[in-house]
């Protein structure tokens, strides 16, 4: 039972960390265009880590096909968690975005709270 709880917790933590790493990779190398292949790579890598941790913590001996069953079980348990966390992070990033863009990537408007914070900082600076 402990192995299952630790594996689940590890899956959630690794999902959040891998999604943030995916966002950084997209930002640095691909100029904010989405790379869908990274989702598949994240799921497969996290499932492998979960399967290995479950295998080590459960203290069971797996031979041949049994290791693949644990791996595919980890994928099945990870997919809903990954989907929920992915949607949550996407909504959070969209809400935290400072501006809204059109379909052709032009800035439509900057959100009011970011304009207000910049204006206040400018008026209270020591040089003006």
d(CA 109, CA 43): 36
pLDDT (tens digit per residue) in 50-77: 988 888 887 777 677 778 888 898 899 8
What is the pLDDT, as a whole number, of residue 32? 65
- Return all residues near 86 (Cβ < 8 A) that are at least 6 apart: 15, 19, 39
Rounded to two decimals, the pTM is 0.71
Same domain, 60 and 102: no
For the chain, what is the domain count?
A: 2
Structural domain including 113 reads: 97-128
Of 10, 42, 5, 8, give the one whose Cα is nearest residue 23. Answer: 42
Same domain, 15 and 48: yes
pLDDT (tens digit per residue) in 93-124: 877 777 777 777 676 677 777 766 554 455 55
- Return all residues near 118 (Cβ < 8 A) that are at least 6 apart: none
Phi, psi at residue 109, to the nearest 5°?
-160, 155
């Amino acid at each position: 039972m402990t192995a299952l709880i630790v594996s689940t917790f590890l899956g959630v933590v690794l999902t959040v960390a891998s999604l943030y790493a995916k966002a950084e990779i997209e930002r640095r190398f691909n100029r904010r265009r989405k790379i869908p292949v990274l989702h598949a790579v994240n799921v497969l890598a996290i499932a492998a880590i979960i399967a290995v941790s479950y295998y080590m913590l459960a203290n069971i001996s797996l031979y041949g096909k049994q290791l693949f069953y644990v791996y595919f079980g980890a994928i099945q348990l990870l997919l809903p968690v990954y989907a929920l966390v992915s949607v949550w992070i996407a909504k959070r990033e969209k809400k935290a975005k400072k501006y809204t863009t059109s379909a052709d990537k032009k800035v439509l408007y900057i959100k009011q709270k970011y304009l207000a914070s910049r204006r206040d900082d400018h008026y209270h600076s020591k040089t003006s």
